Structure 1
Amino acid sequence: MDLSGVGVWSHLLRFGDPGEAADAAAELEELGYSALWFPDGGGPVFEAVTHLLTATRRIVVATGILNLWMHDPAYVATSFASLSAAYDRRFLMGIGVSHAVAVDRHEPGRYRRPLAAMTAFLDQLDQAGPPVPEHSRVLAALGPKMLDLAAKRARGAHPYLGTPEHTRRARQALGEGPLLLPEQTVILCSGRDEARAIGDGWLRGYLELPNYANNLLRLGYTPDDLASVSDRLFDDVIAWGDEEAIGRRLDEHRAAGADHVCVQVLTANGDAFPRQEWRALAAALT
């Protein structure tokens, strides 16, 4: 399983038109990207994994992330074993605790003690028959305790909505062995006004989630940075500009200790596959 190079993170690979998702996956593989990442919101997540694996020949398909509250561990382990055997071990299972606002929507109070919940979920994956091997799973980890768990109980960590400074701290926490596979949001554009028009509302939505807000506060941003979405915060979280500018940001992650970076492309139309942007970035990044 090659987890070097540059991957693509996109909700459209899971929730977009299935036919275009398959066609895009095949093209992304030919463009030289090394992994396809997509999120989970419950439901038939393994059908989506199968759909992308079937459409491709060698690229890694990864959940970014599988929401542990929404899936039975025994079924997860059985599904993983089937997919791993059928598709030459190209499925990487990213697992995360998600957010209280999503988990408690249908069952208030269910989201609690996320570190303990993750530990228990991993225990059940280990005890399943067959188990999900540690080398085939990574954890969505931002804070020190979850990063420590990722180092001890998984192949590494898949941080989301981070910065190169977070990558540096995560590498320090993980040590030299585990993989570090951060997501980096990017906007191909001509200037700041265009970048803010595309990314401002998207980022504000994430800053309302305590997991991400608290992580950014730990990194030294102020409550005012978050409330106003300051230029400093926006520029550090979202890489914007031309292909060269985005390439420099990925180089910063690598210099800070990342093994692989997956790019999430934002455009003015969030419902359209950003295929032109993926092509342009592939020429510069892969």
Structure 2
Amino acid sequence: MELGRLGVWISTDRLDAAQLKALLKTVEGHGYSAFWYPESRGYESMALGGFLLANSQKLIIGSSIANIYARDAFTAKRGLATLNALHGGRFILGLGVSHVPMVEGLRGHSYDKPIPAMRGYLDGMAKAGQEDLPVVLAALGPKMLELAAARTRGAVPYNVTPEHTAQAAKILGPGRILAVEQKVCVETDKAKARALGRKELARYMTLTNYVNNWLRLGFTEAELKDGGSDRFIDAMVLSGDAATVKAGLRAHFTAGATHVCIQPVHADGDFAARDTMLAALADS
């Protein structure tokens, strides 16, 4: 599997079949190598992966991430094998431990300690067949990154900075995928860009896993209050003209990323703005 330089990360739950097909055509038409999608409260990850594969030609389709509490390890391994067997080896399974509200509040499971839970899940997947299939982990902290390096093809960090990318690259070592998600807003009005960024980030700022990682990266508790400081928002959402945003994306590659998946930040339903950004950043 050749995971190219640039991919696209899109929250898919609010898009219907026609909108997803149009988006895939846009992403593929601009030459992006991969399309990444989450698993939240809407579409089930494997079923959506099959739809995205069936409606694209060459794109690598990646879950970012499939929740390990949503299906057992055997099912995840067989789903991964099935999608690759039926769609030309274009699916990469990103796995994550998710967050307490999504596990206990939504699904009614007990949220276990992340590292033992993920290690046990990978052990279960190994028992479901010995195929060498592409798995990566949603890894933020050093211990999860170490597990990703030891047991999978790499990591798909989310809501991070180039400083985190450099740390992750060092822990993962050579030969591992480091596919970093980066939010972007091609908008020269800084106040407008920051307002869009704060709205986009609001749901993440209540989740312990992200907050702890931001604190590790040097942001203060004060900077994470009241929607986030300007410094924090500017780090999480690259904004400005296309050249400025491209420079920010290159910082991840300089830090050691092997792949960057951009997530356009725009007003709700403004697909024209989304697609304009995808066009403007395709040659980053």
Q: TM-score, normalised by structure 1?
A: 0.93
Query: Which aligned pairs between 1:122-271 and structure 2 lie closer than 5 A?
Result: 122-128=122-128, 130-131=129-130, 133=132, 136-228=134-226, 229-270=228-269
Higher helix share: 1
In terms of mean alpha carbon deviation, does 230-239 or 39-48 score higher? 39-48
Alpha-carbon distance change, 236 to 132 in structure 1, aligned in 2, over 3 angstroms: farther
User: How big is the shift at 1:132?
Assistant: 5.6
**1:32 equivalent in structure 2:** 31
**1:81 equivalent in structure 2:** 81
Q: What are structure 1's unaligned runs of at least 5 residues?
A: none
3-state DSSP class of the match of 2:105? coil
**1:48 equivalent in structure 2:** 48
Considering only aligned residues, what root-mean-square deviation do their CA atoms show, in Å? 1.7
Contact 1:3 1:35 in 2 (8 A): yes
Q: Distance in 2 between matches of 1:162 and 1:270?
A: 25
Q: Which amino acid aligns with 2:254?
A: A
**1:60 equivalent in structure 2:** 60
User: How big is the shift at 1:269?
Assistant: 1.6
Q: Distance in 2 between matches of 1:201 and 1:58?
A: 33
User: How big is the shift at 1:272?
Assistant: 4.2
Q: Which amino acid aligns with 1:69?
A: Y
Question: Where in structure 1 do 4 or more consecutive aligned residues deviate above 6 Å?
Answer: none
Identity of aligned residues (%): 38
Contact 2:194 2:230 in 1 (8 A): no
In terms of mean alpha carbon deviation, does 36-45 or 204-213 score higher? 36-45
Q: Distance in 2 between matches of 1:270 and 1:148?
A: 39
Q: Distance in 1 between matches of 2:269 and 2:157?
A: 22
Contact 2:69 2:109 in 1 (8 A): no
**1:21 equivalent in structure 2:** 20
Question: CA offsets, 1:155-174, max 9 Å, x none?
Answer: 00000000000101111111
Q: Distance in 1 between matches of 2:146 and 2:241?
A: 36
Q: Distance in 2 between matches of 1:91 and 1:109?
A: 27
User: How big is the shift at 1:124?
Assistant: 0.8
Q: Which amino acid aligns with 1:92?
A: I
Alpha-carbon distance change, 96 to 196 in structure 1, aligned in 2, over 3 angstroms: same
Contact 1:183 1:261 in 2 (8 A): yes
Q: Distance in 1 between matches of 2:270 and 2:122?
A: 34
Count of paired positions: 281
User: How big is the shift at 1:234?
Assistant: 1.1
User: How big is the shift at 1:280?
Assistant: 2.4
User: How big is the shift at 1:94?
Assistant: 0.3
Q: Which amino acid aligns with 2:206?
A: E
User: How big is the shift at 1:237?
Assistant: 1.3
User: How big is the shift at 1:21?
Assistant: 0.5
3-state DSSP class of the match of 1:212? helix
Alpha-carbon distance change, 109 to 53 in structure 1, aligned in 2, over 3 angstroms: closer
3-state DSSP class of the match of 1:36? strand
Q: What are structure 2's unaligned runs of at least 5 residues?
A: none
Q: TM-score, normalised by structure 2?
A: 0.94
Contact 2:26 2:275 in 1 (8 A): no
User: How big is the shift at 1:2?
Assistant: 1.8
